[in-house]
Chain A
């Protein structure tokens, strides 16, 4: 049974999609077009004239060691953020799923961090790990560990990963919990009667049945790590020390707005655009095949 609305003319449907088209055009097509256009030019230092360079900006970027390093940084960062936020969320969701008493309170508390803006979360973590007055830094100091993410690139990366993943855990937790609760109780019980202990059940029944949720979260979290972590990185490390936390999005900002190299910045935006497109296609094409149902 097909439930399709049919229109007589072409004008009413056009009118109905117009608002969405307008918004997409103003906030997506126009800036994206601008980026593509600008990526082909080099403006002079005062922004008064532009010189056409063709693919020169791209050529320069691909041979630039800093840009290539930023690729690696982004890969490490997004893999870590996705793993940490999804791993912790799944662990908490499995615990919450087994909980009978007080699960409401537990769930509510776990959802709170999601309400905190990334920049604010960044500042919170920055205070805790501040090299002079941070409480965690002080505590680590008493244990004999000298925390200094301002100088140590690895520690800086760890901090932005934790701060980015933290707010994300709530979101992932909600989806994982809903996914777990959607698995019929009797299927789990049948597996228990069939002889599967908790871990075997999780591996052979729960995890496969959870895979649509996991896949969805994987896509959403990678995109989050790529694009929505700007606020956290900007407030905590500003991409430093020595570009050790400069992910691609941050580099677009710092080259464009700080370095005033608009041509290169635009070229980087275009490359990002391509990466996201490719990433989404790859994820749907290849990973979806292993997802059940």
Chain B
């Protein structure tokens, strides 16, 4: 159990700076998710915490101790990799026992601890198998088991679910969350999937091009995105952005207006603007209606299934509550 503190972390590859000063404070036992698109530097950040990449400048502290110069093995961390990184020539048992054997634990202790982890992860029937004889979800569990048997102070997850199919991903997501709750180990989790971030995180960090755009609890980030990037990245379908003049709004310093699809409604009475329905996607529980505004900007309206579906090509009125709109300035920062 430990806190993790990153202070003004920067990383340069050659002459290109890819991470431009990130500060993060992770409390003991907290589950923090770093989310961002490919190439935003989130994995690099995680690897710097793990000690797999050098830190160009700034400081990484684990449990209050500066660890910049420490080898990965001396940082008291465990990591789950995207491709699981299991040792292909070892049985499941040996995979999980590897770290303990190196640490020189007694055979009895190793057997107990691996047994406990296997029970927790329902891996007991598979202890003698090789990784290639397991399914994707089972391999994922072994990778988790390898991390938990060592009882590290910090768990690091590098996109652990992205190699699984959609259904399994949802299931494993829940398992990871429950496991982390039960063990109470400080966790740092990297993903490009905003749903994973929303569901897992105590707090999430939205990264964009080497900068942490926003740090906060998922719902807080969802409700009050600090930048247009955060607003568009978190939430699916993304927030609608309307030019101010089209929206008929006057606000000094603002350039665009953002409204979540679920806050926008198709209304015949007192519409704020009119738009043409391009097409509608009925998803069962809800329907996504895509409309074109007078200036050509596309917007999405999320309707529940019971609502009346407009016909394609129809002209409809759009409305929303002023309290649900967020104004952004020309640089994309919320005003």
Nearest CB on A from B28, distance (A): 21
Residue in chain A with minimal CB distance to B83? A186
State whether A195 touches B73 (Cβ < 8 A). Answer: yes
Tell me if A's interface is mostly helix, strand, loop or mixed: helix
Find chain A residues with CB under 8 A from B174 CB: none
State whether A205 touches B81 (Cβ < 8 A). Answer: no
Number of B interface residues, CB 8 Å? Answer: 24
Bound Cα distance from A254 to B48, whole angstroms? 65
Determine which of A184, A189, A191 lies in contact with B98 in the assembled complex, contact meaning CB atoms within 8 Å.
Answer: A191
Bound Cα distance from A193 to B47, whole angstroms? 11
Determine which of A187, A196, A204, A205 lies in contact with B73 in the assembled complex, contact meaning CB atoms within 8 Å.
Answer: A196
State whether A187 touches B85 (Cβ < 8 A). Answer: yes
What is the total of A-B residue contacts with beta carbons within 8 Å?
A: 63
Find chain B residues with CB under 8 A from A190 CB: 79, 81, 85-87, 146
State whether B89 touches A192 (Cβ < 8 A). Answer: no
State whether A194 touches B85 (Cβ < 8 A). Answer: no
What mask results when residues 74 to 92 of chain B are scored 1 for a CB within 8 Å of chain A, else 0? 0001110111011111000
Determine which of A189, A204, A209 lies in contact with B85 in the assembled complex, contact meaning CB atoms within 8 Å.
Answer: A189
Which of A184, A189, A200, A292 gathers most chain B CB within 10 Å?
A189
What mask results when residues 179 to 212 of chain B are scored 1 for a CB within 8 Å of chain A, else 0? 0000000000000000000000000000000000
State whether A187 touches B72 (Cβ < 8 A). Answer: no
State whether B146 touches A194 (Cβ < 8 A). Answer: yes
State whether B98 touches A194 (Cβ < 8 A). Answer: yes
State whether B83 touches A193 (Cβ < 8 A). Answer: no
State whether A193 touches B88 (Cβ < 8 A). Answer: no
Nearest CB on A from B38, distance (A): 17
State whether A186 touches B81 (Cβ < 8 A). Answer: yes
Find chain A residues with CB under 8 A from B86 CB: 187, 190
Nearest CB on A from B189, distance (A): 16
Interface presence of B322 (CB below 8 A): no
Bound Cα distance from A195 to B77, whole angstroms? 10
A184-B85 contact in complex given A194-B146, A200-B102, C-beta closer than 8 Å: yes
Interface presence of A208 (CB below 8 A): yes
Bound Cα distance from A192 to B78, whole angstroms? 10
Find chain B residues with CB under 8 A from A191 CB: 87, 98
Interface presence of B324 (CB below 8 A): no
State whether A194 touches B150 (Cβ < 8 A). Answer: yes
A197-B72 contact in complex given A190-B79, A191-B87, A293-B88, C-beta closer than 8 Å: no
Nearest CB on B from A192, distance (A): 5
Nearest CB on A from B50, distance (A): 6
What mask results when residues 196 to 214 of chain A are scored 1 for a CB within 8 Å of chain B, else 0? 1100100011001100000
Nearest CB on B from A5, distance (A): 31
Find chain B residues with CB under 8 A from A205 CB: 87
Interface presence of B282 (CB below 8 A): no
State whether B88 touches A209 (Cβ < 8 A). Answer: yes
Interface presence of B311 (CB below 8 A): no
Residue in chain B with minimal CB distance to A192? B72
Find chain B residues with CB under 8 A from A194 CB: 73, 98-99, 102, 146, 150
Find chain A residues with CB under 8 A from B98 CB: 191, 194, 196, 204
Residue in chain A with minimal CB distance to B152? A193
Bound Cα distance from A194 to B147, whole angstroms? 9
State whether A195 touches B81 (Cβ < 8 A). Answer: no
Find chain B residues with CB under 8 A from A200 CB: 102
A193-B78 contact in complex given A184-B83, A187-B87, A293-B89, C-beta closer than 8 Å: yes
A-contacting residues of B (Cβ < 8 Å)? 50-52, 71-73, 77-79, 81-83, 85-89, 98-99, 102-103, 132, 146, 150
Extra A-B contacts (19), CB below 8 Å, given A190-B146, A195-B102: A184-B83, A184-B85, A186-B83, A186-B85, A187-B88, A189-B52, A190-B85, A190-B87, A191-B98, A192-B71, A192-B72, A192-B73, A193-B50, A193-B51, A195-B73, A196-B73, A196-B102, A209-B89, A293-B88
Between-chain CB contacts (< 8 Å), 30 pairs = A186-B82, A186-B83, A187-B87, A187-B88, A189-B85, A190-B79, A190-B85, A190-B86, A190-B87, A192-B52, A192-B71, A193-B50, A193-B51, A193-B72, A193-B73, A193-B77, A193-B78, A193-B79, A193-B99, A194-B98, A194-B146, A195-B73, A195-B99, A195-B102, A195-B103, A196-B102, A204-B98, A292-B89, A293-B88, A293-B132
